[in-house]
Amino acid sequence: MASGTSISAPDKASTLTGKRVLLGVSAGIAAYKSALLVRLLKQAGCEVRVVMTSGAQAFITPLTLQALSGEPVRTSLLDPEAEAGMGHIELARWADVVLIAPATADLIARLVHGMADDLLTTLCLASDAPKLIAPAMNQAMWRHPATQRNVAQLENDKWQLIGPAAGDQACGDVGPGRMSEPDAIFSAIVDLFMASPATPRPAASAPHIVITAGPTREPLDPVRYLSNHSSGKMGFALAAAAALEGANVTLISGPVELPTPKGVTRIDVESAEQMHAETQRLAPRAALFIGCAAVADYRAAAPAEHKLKKQETGDTLTLTLVKNPDIIASVAALPAEQRPLVVGFAAETQDIERYARDKLQRKGLDMIVANDVSLAGLGFGSDQNAAWLLWRTPQGVESRSEAPQPKTQLAGTIIRQALALLATQTAEKSSNTASGDIL
């Protein structure tokens, strides 16, 4: 520590209580300061998990940081035990903030180029959390044009730079490149959370909701595809509304240009088959599945390897299409012990309620939301929507219509109805289980 500095947490550090900090430590003599930083964060009430590069372990041991953080230190991307449940993705989702201190010139260069050749760089690509970085290197390395270009790109990529400081260096040089002191880094984290309070984290008992959104694209050749007009706005509004209700939300999105709602984990896909694979992976572990995506019904049987030329296809072009997997029906057909409550969507142009009832029954859904996409200003691409809501009860199917309204408002209504249906279903299951135990 520099003369006169203190490692006691400032009073405003109560802002950090319960915050989850993922600390990356790369190679460099400044790695010893990371131990003091972990202590500061823990004193402020943070949960801290540490990831070390192989080079960092030459300067400070994982055991030291494990003792200070109270958590196992991760050092390898290919750890069989940790990766049994895709541990690096779970760790990326766990973090409220990603902090790298110290960050070497090599690590900065690899981050700029999107490398994912070790656990730390992979986590940085996989996490949507705010990212802070504290460089540490020789003054000549810091001043080098390549490093300065890389740092500028990191800032363009929304990394927040902390330091570096100037002064005596371990190599005997004097100048900029020293890692900022732990209390300065700590203050930067406090300021981050005071400026941008995070969305409240779902409780451990919160339901996991999986939502699909947007269109899919089915390739015909390397430059053409089949798709539809879905903007993804309704699905993203549902994800935002579910997060506001305190749910743990995973959004599987087709290709759209929309920001990820706060508190939502997003998985991007292109084709129906990719969306189906992610749904099959996640739905069995969810309490509620909402299929809002406009999934292409068909795909090319054999997409062309090269661009189709007009002079080769003539005035007409015949395509052989095959059916895509029925994503929502496959979720509804899961075994009872794996099946979530299933909500579907129906985009219709006539006889809205009748077709919705038919789809509810035919696909074995618990609830369906149907809207008339033929109405101007509603549905695809619009910020407004109107809908029929239909859901199953022990007495039959109940329904109600929702007048035209902003999609954000309609999304809240849909989520609350789905959660009420989930609560009823859960209570019925608990009652049946208790009755069975008595008998």
pLDDT at position 335 over 50: yes
Q: What is the pTM of this model?
A: 0.56
What is d(CA 223, CA 322) in angstroms, rounded to the nearest whole number? 20
How confident is the model at residue 6, as a pLDDT? 38
Would you tell me how many other CB atoms lie within 10 Å of the CB of residue 60?
20
Tokens of residue 384, six digits: 């407004």
State the number of CA atoms in the 13 A half-sphere of 289 facing the CB.
29
| Cα radius of gyration (the chain) | 26
Other CB atoms within 10 Å distance of the CB of residue 418: 28
Which amino acid is present at 78? L
Give residue for tokens 């390898």.
Answer: 76
Classify residue 21 as exposed, middle or buried by CB count within 10 Å of its CB (0-12, 13-18, 19+).
Answer: buried
**Residue 42: pLDDT above 70?**
yes
Active site residue 171: yes
Residue 221 one-letter amino acid: D
Hey, what amino acid is at 77?
L
* Structure tokens that stand for 306 in this block: 């090269």
Q: What is the 3-state secondary structure (H, E, C) of 123-134?
A: HHHHCCCCEEEE
> In the prediction, which pLDDT does 439 show?
41
Sketch out the chain's domains with CATH numbers. Answer: 11-195 (3.40.50.1950), 208-427 (3.40.50.10300)
439 vs 182, which has greater pLDDT?
182
Asked if pLDDT for residue 11 goes beyond 80, the answer is no
Q: What is the pLDDT of residue 4?
A: 36
118 phi and psi angles, rounded to 5 deg: -150, 180
| pLDDT above 60 (res 44) | yes
> pLDDT tens-digit profile of 141-180?
998 999 999 999 998 888 999 988 877 777 777 778 889 9
At residue 288, the pLDDT reads 97
How far is it, in rounded angstroms, from Cα 119 to Cα 101? 15
Mean pLDDT value of segment 277-287:
94
Selected residue with higher pLDDT from 103 and 192: 103
Q: Partners of 51 in the beta sheet?
A: 24, 74
Give pLDDT tens digits for 370-382: 987 777 666 565 6
Q: Is the pLDDT of residue 385 over 90?
A: no
Tens of pLDDT, residue by residue over 96-143, are 899 999 999 999 999 999 988 899 999 998 888 899 999 999 888 998
Start-end of H helices in 135-181? 139-143, 145-156
Binding site listing = 291-293, 297, 307, 325-328, 345, 359, 363
Catalytic residue selected from 170, 171, 174, 322: 171
Residue 48 banded pLDDT, cuts 50, 70, 90: very high
Is the pLDDT score of 198 beyond 90?
Answer: no
Could you tell me which residues are annotated as the binding site for CTP?
Answer: 291-293, 297, 307, 325-328, 345, 359, 363
So what's the pLDDT on residue 83? 45
